[in-house]
Chains A and B, each alone.
Chain A
Amino acid sequence: MSGRYKTISLRIAQAIPVLFGVVVVSFILTRALPGDPAVYFAGASATEESIAQVREALGLDKSLPEQFVIYLGDLLRGDLGQSISTGQAVTDDLARRLPASLELTLMALFISCSIAVPLGVMAATKPGSLRDHICRVIVTAGVSLPTFFTGILLIYIFYYLLGIAPSPLGRLDFIYIEPDTVTGFYLIDAALIGDWETWFGALKQLILPATTLALFTMAPIARMTRAAMLSALSSDFVRTARAAGLSSSKILYGYALHNAMLPVITTLGMVFSFTLGANVLVEKVFAWPGIGSYAIEALVASDYAAVQGFVLAMAILFVLLNLTIDIAYSLIDPRIGFEER
């Protein structure tokens, strides 16, 4: 078993240069942002002199490597700078808004997986059938829908035409009281204090944006499930299991699906990337107070500390998610840590 721990620690070690690369890239990106933050900060009636002062105060007069070292130091202290538009520390802003984004993303993935995996399995058990073709068209249509467009369409249908959805503004209608922050996830926090009215209110707000995101991410999961199931079902070990008289459900779920889940888990990383990206668009459509809409506001205002913080936070989040996926994978697949011998 030591091989496996070695692989896991190696995998964690590999994440470190990547994290460093991420920091470098996000630093470079934001230094190249158009607009001079010093001018912005100094205000409308600024003189040359006051702009220079502000620049010095922000450390923008130093050389890039120097700025990078300062930036690294700040980062280690958890300081991402001040947001120009909100006037708050970026770290605080992000921390406050992150749960909203995560709640949305995870809910979407939950919906997506619980539909796409059975769909893929269903398609794989009868390849080439009508069922298979329908699944293919549905998931392809899903991934072809631009998330911002799906969102608008759903709002039009369920809010404007049918009137069953709440107004698409934020996480909770103003008639409800926000639950006390424990995890920041409204569904969990409301459930913790037993406030089911708020819980339902939050769920109602969540369902449309989460569905929008889920539709988009279903396709890769369903495609991969189908392909992996097909290859598992046609493999020799399934034939052995059939020849040994194992029941169909044991073969389908115990043998084939279990093996097929491994490549599916690997694609989850890609799916997360999609989801986190599409998140930004969905947050804008539904006025969702997450870090995506925060970033859009910051972009408009050339608020470089905020943008930098956002890009960095997203990347770190994603690296950590991938790490989790890889480690989960290596715990499930006994071959990890042995294959390279």
Chain B
Amino acid sequence: MLSIKDLAVDFQTRKGVVHAVRNVNLHVDKGETLGIVGESGSGKSVTSYALMRILDAGGTITAGDIVYSGIDLRHSSARDMRNIRGREISMIFQNPRAALNPIRKVGHQLEDVLKTHSQATRYDARAKAISMLEAVQIRNAEERYHAYPFELSGGMCQRIVIAIALACNPQLLIADEPTTGLDITTQKTVMDLIQSLSQERQMSSILITHDLGLAAQYCDRIVVMKDGELVETGKPKSLFNNAQHAYTRKLIAATPRKNASIRDLLPVEEQQPLPERSQSGETLLRVNNLVKTYAGKNGPVHAVKGISFDLKQGKSLALVGESGCGKSTTSSMITRLLDCSSGEIIFNGQDIGKIKLRDFAQHEMRKDIQMVFQDATDSLNPRHSAFQSILEPIKHLTDLRSAKRQDRVYELADLVGLPHSLLTRFPHQLSGGQKARVGIARAIAVNPQLLILDEPTAALDVSIQAIVLNLLADLRAKLGMTYLFVSHDLHVVRLLCDDVIVMKDGEIVEMGPVEEVMDQPKSEYTQSLLDAAPSLSKIVE
């Protein structure tokens, strides 16, 4: 139905021409779901934009043919393309809230598409729009017709985007990272909806994703892309069990899954035995009935509703939950970046919750509790070089003289595997993985006893994530640190942590050793989280 031959796309940028896509050959058959997987910059999205002919300014198709049902898409007129878009081929995007016009009622946006493709007249547009909303399982469709995007949740917005895409009964649906940024349970419902709707309408679809597990679960066939080129293609089962190309194998290996240890994520030749961890068994941190309540516009917001747990020296504890469950609020309070409403945070026998935030910055315990932030880009001062960023805590929290300070920075760079030549660079000149290393080096610079890791790998590609997770495991053993690991990803948690706390709506749902909680969850909620998480282990033997 769709075939792409020798596609090449170039982008004109300030630094010259970038070949975003080269020699891509692929086809989609009727009723088939094709997955395109790859890490950032692999050209997977560009390929789909090229076939829709909606490349950003500066991007051009320089070679190849794109043929859809006998129509030459590359050379079609702009007018023909407009008729094809939305009517024959539709597309849905990541970040659904931004994908909708913020100041137009969602019903009207649906009608716009219906009217453009003469699928509805002035008289029946409204009825058709509402029936479309019902088709994507939106309750109270009549009411939702009048809603604006900001009044709806992320998952709801994605349903609207799907409704717009499917309104004119297209034959091919392209889904570009449709669930990135959505919670894991929402992800499942959205993906199931896309799957059932496309089966119902006998549509073909292309799923573009960085998540191998997701692709394995929902696709009939998968192509792997790297640096703008197609690496390998095959059915999920054969591809994941018997990958031919080294890159595919590396990607599969790096994806966290049930029976793999943290070292298994790395390529075989880079695997070294994990160093021994020392654990004294003393309680380092005791959290007692911790509560955080914000004053909201419509009454108080209970972010954390009285949680208690212990963390022993040398252990690693994970806080897991979906967005808004209070895990980040909890970690901020323990890091003393946020005051608690009530409760105790006893660190090394002292209730640090009682120390004023302002005083804690200069407190001797400040250096004992440090944090690695979620977004490495956001957490590095754009005006400071990597060197200055790492130096910052050394300058304020140690007595080292200036000559020694420099040595310490180099020592830390070695420790996290950051080449010294990169130290003079500013954050925007570093890659995501390098920024993560700078963030980690800064956090461990003053030898903290407790390191709080707030989704440190959430923004990273899987292969970089694998390296960073291993680095964290090494550092923990080498420096004898205790970790509090905040994450939404249960698979990652299993790799790094000893114990886990599952949170929901500011409360602890379940806690215990990682293996126990993940293999025999006691609560339904944990079970639903585990079920919703796409996993390679279901398919990889």
Contacts and interface: CB of A to CB of B under 8 A. Distances in A.
A and B touch in the complex (CB under 8 A): yes
Contacts of B95: 236
B358 interface: no
A321 B116 CA distance: 39
B103 A244 contact: no
Interface stretch (B22-30, B83-91, B392-400, B448-456): B83-91
B116 A240 contact: no
Given A237-B98, A245-B117, A259 B103 contact: yes
B515 interface: no
B54 A242 contact: yes
A335 B101 contact: no
Contact of A332 (B81, B90, B93, B103): B103
Interface in B35-85: 52, 54, 56-57, 78, 81-85
A245 B93 contact: no
Nearest to B105: A334
A237 B116 contact: no
B93 A258 contact: no
Interface residues of B, number: 35
Contacts of A258: 101, 103-104
A338 interface: yes
Given A334-B148, A335-B102, A338-B151, A244 B93 contact: no
Interface in B150-170: 150-151, 161, 164-165
Contacts of A334: 103, 148, 150
B54 A243 contact: yes
B112 interface: yes
Nearest to A240: B99
Given A235-B98, A239-B54, A244-B113, A335 B297 contact: no
Contacts of A259: 101-103
A127 B161 CA distance: 29
A240 B85 contact: no
A246 B297 CA distance: 39
B100 interface: yes
Contact of A237 (B91, B101, B117): B101
B93 A236 contact: yes
Interface string B264-289: 00000000000000000000000000
Given A236-B93, A236-B95, A239-B54, A245 B84 contact: yes
A258 B104 CA distance: 9
B101 A245 contact: no
A34 B161 CA distance: 67
Interface residues of A, number: 29
B165 A244 contact: yes
Contacts of B165: 243-244
A131 to B, nearest CB: 14
A246 B86 CA distance: 8
A250 interface: yes
B86 A244 contact: yes
A333 B150 CA distance: 11
A241 interface: yes
Contacts of B196: none
Given A245-B82, A245-B85, A255 B116 contact: no
Given A239-B93, A334-B103, A335-B103, A244 B85 contact: yes
Contacts of A243: 52, 54, 85-86, 90-91, 93, 165
A338 to B, nearest CB: 6
Nearest to B91: A243
A250 B111 CA distance: 13
B298 to A, nearest CB: 7
For B83, B99, B161, the residue with the greatest tally of chain A CB atoms inside 10 Å of its CB is B99
Interface string A224-240: 00000000001111011
Interface string A328-341: 00001111001111
A254 B298 CA distance: 35
Given A239-B93, A259-B103, A334-B103, A244 B164 contact: yes
B298 A341 contact: yes
Interface in B234-264: none
Contacts of B98: 235-237
B56 to A, nearest CB: 8
Interface string A160-201: 000000000000000000000000000000000000000000
Nearest to A339: B150
Interface in B322-346: none
A239 B99 contact: yes
B112 A250 contact: yes
Nearest to A335: B150
B298 A245 contact: no
A247 interface: yes
Contacts of A127: 57
A262 interface: yes
A244 B99 contact: no
Interface string B477-513: 0000000000000000000000000000000000000
Contacts of B90: 243-244
Contacts of A242: 54, 85
A255 B101 contact: yes
A247 B116 contact: yes
B54 A244 contact: no
Interface in B294-351: 297-298
B148 A244 contact: no
B85 A237 contact: no
A327 to B, nearest CB: 16
A232 B98 CA distance: 11
Nearest to A246: B116
B478 to A, nearest CB: 44
B102 A246 contact: no
B455 to A, nearest CB: 23
Given A236-B93, A240-B161, A338-B151, A246 B101 contact: no
A334 B116 CA distance: 24
B128 to A, nearest CB: 15
Contacts of B116: 244-247, 250
Contacts of B100: 237, 240
Contacts of B99: 236-237, 239-240
Interface in B129-186: 148, 150-151, 161, 164-165
Nearest to B174: A243
Given A236-B98, A239-B54, A338-B150, A246 B113 contact: yes
A13 to B, nearest CB: 17
Nearest to B81: A245
For A239, A255, A332, the residue with the greatest tally of chain B CB atoms inside 10 Å of its CB is A239
B438 to A, nearest CB: 30
Contacts of B117: 245
A250 B161 CA distance: 18
A334 B54 CA distance: 29
B540 to A, nearest CB: 34
Contacts of B113: 244-246
A95 B165 CA distance: 58
For A235, A241, A244, the residue with the greatest tally of chain B CB atoms inside 10 Å of its CB is A244
Contacts of B150: 334-335, 338-339
Contacts of A339: 150
B241 to A, nearest CB: 35
6 contacts: A237-B101, A239-B54, A241-B112, A243-B91, A244-B113, A246-B82
Given A235-B98, A255-B104, 12 more contacts: A236-B98, A242-B54, A242-B85, A244-B86, A245-B81, A246-B116, A247-B116, A258-B101, A258-B104, A332-B103, A334-B103, A338-B151
Instruction: Pick the 6 closest A-B CB pairs, nearest first.
Output: A245-B86, A245-B85, A244-B86, A236-B98, A243-B91, A240-B99
